[in-house]
Structure formats: C-alpha cells, structure tokens
Structure 1
C-alpha cells in the first residue's frame, strides 16, 4: 500500500505522491490550505514566516528550536521533524497521532499546537514555549518537594490528564520529563508521540492492527503500568498509574520502581515491589497506594471507582482551588533552583566533541579516555536498589550484575546463570577509575572484552564510515546484551582488537538499514555508520530483535 504523509492546519489535509528514481512511491506532503483559493490560505504559515534561534532539544528524528513569528514577534517552540527519517523508519503513524492528539487539546496545562507547515525536507509543529524547562530538572535538583508544592503540581497534572481523557486520548507517557513549566511556573504536558486516540468510530478502530497498537509497548520503563507488561489493552487507567509514580517522585526525589536495568524495573512493577518512605504524609501514602494498584479496574481514577473525580475528592487534595489553580501563584521552584545552583553548581556529564582536539579522531579519543568515570554514555545518577530473587528473575542474574559500572540494559536468559545470594545489592552511585579491560575481569581468551558467563550472539568485521573516512573495525553483540566496537585486531576470527567504546544499549537505541551493504546504529548522542556487504540486513534484524526482547515485550 502506498504510504503518504500529510500535515495540515484546521484538519484540512490531503495527500499526494510522486515516484522515486527507483520506481516506487515516494511520500510527499500536500495540504488543501496550500491552494490559494482555499479560505484559510492567508492564515497558513510557511518556513519563512519565522526566524529560528537556539536549539531547545533534540530527538532521534526531531529538533525543537526557538522560533519568532515575524508577523507578531511572539516566540514559539518549533518542532522540526525529518520527513525522510520518519518515512524510512515507519514513524508516519506516530507523527500523525501526535498532530491529531495535539489538535484536540485546548487547556492551560497542555502545550498548544498553533500551526503545522512543511518544506522539502521537514515537517514543523509550532507549539507553546515553556521557558522554564522540565519538571524533572527541579525534581532532580530540589526533591523531595514539600507537601504543598507536590499537591499543587499534582493537581495541575491531574486537571491536564482529565482534559486529555475527555478529548478521547490516552497520553501513555506521563513522566516529569514530559511536564514542562511555563513563564509563570505552571505545568504544560507535552510529547504526544506515544498517545492513543480511543474514540475513533471508523472501521479501522476494531481492526487487528488497532488491537495490536493498544497492546504495543510505549512509554518509559519506570512509569509503565502492569497491564502493559501483561500485553493487556491499555486504557485511561494507565495514565493514573504514571500519575501515582510522579507524585511519589516529587515527594521522594526518585521513582518508586528503580533498578539497574529495565528488565528488573519491569519485574518490580509486576510484583508491586516498592517502598513507601516513613516521612511521607499519610494522605500521600494512601493516594499513591491506591494509584499504584495492579488491577486497573481497582485503581483510583478508574471508571469503576468514580473516575478522576474520585481522585480530586481524596484527602490528599483537600484545600485545592480547582477552578483557579492555573491563575494562582505557583510555588517558588525557580527561585529555589537558583539558590541551589549557587550553592552547588551542576556539572554536565556529557562530553562535547567540539571541545576536543579538532585533529583527534573520536575513536582515538575513546581509546584514551574510555573509562567508567569518563564514559559520556553512562548513566551516573545515584541508584540504590535491592532486588529480591523470584523464579522469574533468578535466571536473569549474572555473577557480574552487581558491577556498579555495568550499562543500564536488560539482561536476557541465554544461558546466564545466577551465582549470587538471594539478595543482590546494586549501587550505581560511584564510578570506577579502572580502564575498561581492567574492570571486565576474567574472560574467554579468544575475546578479551566479555564478562564472565557472557556469550557472543553476533560478531564480525565491518567498515566504520565517518564522512570520507573509513576504517576496518570489529562489531560484537553479546547476550547481555552489549554492543562492543573494537579495533581490527590481529586476526579476523579472534576479535582481540582494542576496545574503542561500548555503544550504549538503551530503549532509545535504533538500528536502521541504509542500503544493501550499509546500516546505522543511532543513539541519543550520536550515530554510528557501518558497512557489511554480506550481513548488513542480518545485523539490523538481530539488533532490533534483541531490542524488542529487552524493551518491547513482557518478559
């Protein structure tokens, strides 16, 4: 079926397609409003209507920029999406869902979509500007919040979720990173790319594809509801679960389900394994326990228990002025953050390659600096967790799982046996100063970069391409899973080359075929391009299959 991509203002859109040089259909974007005879023609926006400023954020296929409307002088956040990447990676559906979901919203607690337009390469969403960043930043630096601050922001989030549900949408990715703060420090929920529109009445709504989508893995591990992990259809109650996680995080400074890997997070969620701090107010404990209920029908906020009104009526929200909260004065979080920044200046862990020696190859940089302390891809935020073994978890633990420098990845049962005690304490708050080979410990002699009991799923010699530069390298995928990127080494079969870096295995990893012989591995920080004339497709299939096992289905 020919795939088309359409974006338009005011729901006036149509699609067309041309044919590429290869003879197949090439998606294009056209809208009725682009026709000068259309009554909305003079209200449309085009690329040249805006001046573009600093980058606010970047994703795998989008960039958010500051944009100034030349007509009014007003500033917006403009989300620019790469059309070729969207089409090639089958993201058309999610872009359309985000547009359609946003176009339904009209609430002070939700970012507003003003216009959409396009050029030959990109699609553009013109959105509300939220100058004070993510709620997550304030939680990370200032939490635990006091009770009144937590209740204030919880109330605003709840009102926004109520509006989202009333408009026939499930957000499915409620988390502090997707809750922005405007000039007055009131919340604005953003990022509807994982949303589900639930009130469609057309025939497709009951199709197998739609049923599968309702069960598809979306969201972020620490906020995923138990029903999703069981592959049950996801309903509005999933947002109530995430809402409970956010309240907990504001009061404690960490999410209730914290573990070194996503797999172990999922096990904790399925087992309702979390600890309620003693200093939580009793009303906070009660509402969190009622929201973090495994059965969605018994979850506070479910239709069976009175909907969102039942949450509003909970004693936790006593004294909230629901009618005027978005026009009231917000807690002084910004001032507190400024005071905290003066006392404890934040140091960014990310490495800026532009600051490195311009003549130095990034691979050489990694070979000189690739230690647990300096690795720019490692999550060095403090994590302390206690994992209780169960029949489901035990086979997934390895002897080196309590290694504080191990990547945040999902362990998979490929013959890895548990060798620890009934309880494994994992502390990820520190970082070792040892070099990578030193900290890996004992290993099979034929490949000097494996953990004990770690085995190779796929390995081979590839060509690493960076612009006009190409170098022979070795790529190794293990059952842990880990992606190791090595020097060429002495022999093709031995894989004993120097370890350049470990490509971070996270839910944001993306493997993509670029041609018959070329494939890319995308991470949030950078993209690695490799050439393998015989096995490019096999690399992509194997990596993506393991990503699904690690992050995309219930264990």
Structure 2
C-alpha cells in the first residue's frame, strides 16, 4: 500500500497505484505498490515496520490488533492497526479492508480519524492512524447520559460537520453510532470505522453496487435506516437517520429502537415505534422527529429539504460556532466520568464459593483501567451485523428464551442426581456452619425432595441454586481475559441470577466451584463482539466469554430477561 493522501508529507493530488489481491486456495493477499519502486518520487517518504516502536495493545478484533506506535523519526505516537493477511483472505474481508483504506484516504477533517501511512510485512498489513486517547463517545453516553442540552448540542454539531465532510468526499459511512465516534486528548470527536462505507463515483453510482436487485447491507441493528430494511438503494440520508438516533441517545441514555433481538428492532424501525421522552427540549424533539422519517427524501438533511445547511439553521443548533467549534473548549466529560468513577469505585476481587480469591476476574472496564490510553479498532467486529437479502423478515428470526434441555441429562446417573448432590453439599455446610446454628440449613434441606418435581433434573451445581430457582439457560463457555482463557460454565436463572462456575472435573464437568455471580442490575449490558464472542458489562467489571455456537443466543436471552426485569433492555 502507498502512503495515504491524507499524510502531511503528501500532496492530495499525488497518486499511486495500489492493489490488494489474493489468489484462490487461501493464499495471503499480495500488495502491489508503485511507491515501493525506488524511482518513485515518494519512495523516501514511504514507511516500513521498523520505522516504529510498538507499545501497548489498545484493542483487539477478530482479524486485527491496534497498538500504540511511536515514530522513531519524530517521537510522535499513533494508533497502528495491524491486520492479519491470512485471516483477511480466509474470511473474505479484503473488500472491507480496501473500502476502509480508500474511504479514509479521501478524508481531511479534524472530526475524522486521519490515515497517515499504510505498509506491510510478510504476515500483516498496517494502518497508521490518529491516536484518540480518550476512548469512545459510547463510554461517556453509557455512564453519564442523559447529557445536558449544551453538551449534546456540542457533540451533535461536531458529528454533523464530520458527516458533511464525509458526504462531500463521496462516501456514505453507513455505521454512524457512539461506538464509532472517538474522542481525542481535547475531547473533540474523531469519526472512525469506514469498513462499512459505500463510495460513490463521479456519476453518483455506488462502487460495487449490485444491479440484480438483491442488496446486502452492513451496519448495526439499532441504527439501520428503514430504506435498508426495504432493500432500497443506499443513500446519504441513511447517515442522517443514524445521526438522529445518536442525538436521541445522548439526551436519553439509550437508543430509540431497543429490543431483545434484531428482528424486533427492525420491526420497531419499520413501524417508527419509539417513545419521545417528555423531558426532551422542544427543539430536540423537533429535529429528532425530522431525522427519524421513513422516507429518505423527506428526511431532514436530504437535498429535497435543503441539505445539511438546513440542519445547521435549525433552532436545536442555535448559538453553535460552526467555524471554530473544533478550536473551542469541549464539555468536561472526562472530569464528569472520573467523578462518576469515584462515586462507584471498582469492587475488590470477588471470592469464589469456597472463599478463594478469584484474581482472574480482575477485568475492569475501560474507564478505570485504560483512561488516556484507548483506541477504537474499526475491524474488531463489535456489533455490526451483515445481512444478505434481509427481506422478508419472519418470526423464525426471533430467538426465544432457551430453557435448559433436561432430557439431555442422564437423570438416572449417580453423578447427576440432584437430591444426592444437594445433600452432599448440605453435609459440608453443616460441618462448616455448625457454630452458627442450623435452622436455616434444616429449612433448606427439608425442601430437597420437592426440587426435582419443580425444576427437573439438574447437574451437580444445584447447590448454587435456591430451592425455588430454575435454570433459563446454561452452557459451557470460555472465559477470556487478556491472553488467558479458561473453560467455564455460565448459568442464567429465573430469579434472575447470572453465575459462572469452574469447569469442574466430573463426567459432565458441572461440579466446579462458583467463581462469580455477575450482579443483575439495570446497568447490566450484554454485547455481541463477533460470531462467537460476547461480553457482559457491569458498572464495575466486564466479562468476556466465547461460545462458538450460542453467543448471539446468550445476548438475546439476557436482553429478554432485562426487559422482563426492568422494562427496557439496559
């Protein structure tokens, strides 16, 4: 790859032919770059792997890793995204890598992550990008929202200017959301993640557009516009729809279209089914309603309605200094977040059922562990979903609660007999608690005989359940933390409680100790990070699990329980 046109050392008019290709049979992509020719005028400005010192890992995705890279020539720090060639080819991601590179190469705006250089070695491709140290806007929205009107207006104005530049450069972003909006040292925005973008040629035709009528789309369910659900042609107005969702989220703390499954989210979007909070300022209500319009031609920001300039003139943006906003002092979100962290400090490491310190779960969420050292990885497959020919939608897409399949357990096996297991555990408790009185233990033991009738056979971890508690979903997962992964069993009950246990040593490996009970609160947030990876976020910690077959089911089921418990998915 050649140096991106946004590099300060290159002219925007300088061009170099670059291509990323691969052959059939799964070989690595081959990079062809004119700049690598010593006769090329930009040869001495190209970069190679050894030009940088590489530091901490800022983020990891399914086929990329983002690290801090220090330029040996200048000492300046960048975010260096390293992409694995073999993985890119194997998973058909070449197109998205090239879209990201081509789209970013067109950008030159303070509100958009800048691509400085690209280079390669035998195994990897490298993008050198702006280092956004303050993390994602999503983190601040999740912890601090609802924002006050002035804060929401400030960030909405910066996002709008960035979208305006993206559209002027012939690109449709198609995945505008708080997770894709970074914050720099001064807390100004940097839009990132152009892997879902569409590039429009001079004739206003979208590159790679499918003329057969069936179109795929890439995006995130809660921000997908109605025209994409109708399989209509993608337009710039799709970004305006997502922009309306972001304003709503900053002012309320949640997206307007929230549901346990993608199918239900899509139904709400198609029916414009959302609630406008009474506390929203009238100007905010008006601009959101005009943005969340089904017909893209009648959507605020469309050329029919005066384009983006008409949006700038809306009363919601009264008082915005459009010319100098990126030079102004940003709202003190970082200070507010630190105050919030002090009010809700990290809890001490949890102890397992037997009182042993569980030091492996010391996984703090971003704002405690990586403040001032965070960078979004555009290729980490966090929540974007790729739908091929999504219409028509059917009820089969709904993922109902998945109760444990009791018939799969050998009920007549001594190891799986719940009554004997519970009584064995009760005898242990009796010895340990003899000095504390036996009334509670006796009460629990007296109910043992009725448990199998109420909830059916269970494995040996039944002592971790209450007498009237049953299992909604359980399964073997891999607990991931940094470079460590361990087999665990994850259990969701009807109380509801969310437990995970050691893998154990028995025949079915369900006899392990209780490692942790993940607090069930309205702040609980399940998050799909890929086909097999999902996270469970709490205000104190984040837990990362891998389930190759059921990651989406875990997220859907937990979201369903959150809706049942608190009325809305957290």
Which bin holds the TM-score, normalised by the shorter protein? Answer: 0.5 to 0.7
Residues 501-551 of structure 1: per-residue CA shift (max 9 Å, x gap):
9xx9976433xxxxxxxxxx566788979xxxxxxxxxx9x999999xx9x
Whole-Å separation in 2 of the counterparts to 1:29 and 1:350: 49
1:325-340 → structure 2 map (5 Å cutoff): 325-340=325-340
Q: TM-score, normalised by structure 2?
A: 0.63
Partner of 1:293: 293
Structure 1 position 142 matched with structure 2 position 144: yes
Partner of 1:198: 200
Q: Is the Cα contact below 8 Å between 2:18 and 2:34 reproduced in 1?
A: yes
Structure 1 position 27 matched with structure 2 position 17: no
Q: 1:220 to 1:202 in 2, by over 3 A?
A: closer
SS of the counterpart of 1:217? Answer: strand
Partner of 1:151: 153
Residues 133-190 of structure 1: per-residue CA shift (max 9 Å, x gap):
1111111121111111111110010000000000000111111111111111111101
SS of the counterpart of 1:29? Answer: strand
Matched residue pairs, number?
432
Whole-Å separation in 2 of the counterparts to 1:101 and 1:522: 28
Q: What is the CA-CA distance between 1:345 and the residue it aligns to?
A: 2.2
Q: 1:59 to 1:200 in 2, by over 3 A?
A: farther
Residues 251-295 of structure 1: per-residue CA shift (max 9 Å, x gap):
111111122222222221122111111111000011111111111
Of the two structures, which has the highest relative contact order with CA contacts closer than 8 Å and spacing of 6 or more?
2
Partner of 1:324: 324
Alignment counterpart, residue 17 of structure 2, candidates 2, 6, 13:
13
Q: Is the Cα contact below 8 Å between 1:175 and 1:246 reproduced in 2?
A: yes
SS of the counterpart of 2:243? Answer: helix
Long gaps (5+) in structure 2:
6-14, 362-392, 404-449, 462-469, 476-486, 490-502, 516-524, 536-542, 558-570
Partner of 1:433: none
Alignment counterpart, residue 509 of structure 1, candidates 530, 535, 560:
530
Whole-Å separation in 2 of the counterparts to 1:150 and 1:311: 15
1:77-476 → structure 2 map (5 Å cutoff): 77-199=79-201, 205=207, 208=210, 212=214, 215-346=215-346, 396=398, 398=400
Residues 98-154 of structure 1: per-residue CA shift (max 9 Å, x gap):
000000000110011100011111111111111111111111121111111111110
Q: 1:86 to 1:40 in 2, by over 3 A?
A: same
Partner of 1:368: none
Q: What is the CA-CA distance between 1:13 and the residue it aligns to?
A: 3.2
Whole-Å separation in 1 of the counterparts to 2:250 and 2:488: 45
Q: 1:396 to 1:105 in 2, by over 3 A?
A: closer
Whole-Å separation in 2 of the counterparts to 1:84 and 1:499: 38
- The higher radius of gyration belongs to 2
Q: Is the Cα contact below 8 Å between 2:28 and 2:89 reproduced in 1?
A: no
Partner of 1:413: none
Q: 1:445 to 1:235 in 2, by over 3 A?
A: farther
Q: 1:39 to 1:190 in 2, by over 3 A?
A: same
Q: 1:218 to 1:24 in 2, by over 3 A?
A: closer
Residues 34-93 of structure 1: per-residue CA shift (max 9 Å, x gap):
122211111011111111111111111111111111101111111111111111100000
Whole-Å separation in 1 of the counterparts to 2:452 and 2:267: 27
Residues 309-365 of structure 1: per-residue CA shift (max 9 Å, x gap):
1111111111111111111111111222222222222569999xxxx999x9x9xx9
Q: What is the CA-CA distance between 1:30 and the residue it aligns to?
A: 3.0
Whole-Å separation in 2 of the counterparts to 1:398 and 1:203: 41
* Worse-superposed segment, 26-35 or 438-447: 438-447
Residues 408-430 of structure 1: per-residue CA shift (max 9 Å, x gap):
xxxxxxxxxxxxxxxxxxxxxxx
Whole-Å separation in 2 of the counterparts to 1:315 and 1:241: 19
Whole-Å separation in 2 of the counterparts to 1:29 and 1:257: 42
Partner of 2:381: none
Whole-Å separation in 2 of the counterparts to 1:70 and 1:141: 37
1:508-547 → structure 2 map (5 Å cutoff): 508-510=529-531, 521=532
Q: Is the Cα contact below 8 Å between 1:7 and 1:29 reproduced in 2?
A: no
Whole-Å separation in 2 of the counterparts to 1:312 and 1:249: 20
Whole-Å separation in 1 of the counterparts to 2:397 and 2:289: 30
Q: TM-score, normalised by structure 1?
A: 0.65
Partner of 1:59: 61
Long gaps (5+) in structure 1:
1-5, 366-390, 402-437, 460-471, 475-485, 511-520, 530-539, 551-555
Q: Is the Cα contact below 8 Å between 2:119 and 2:127 reproduced in 1?
A: yes
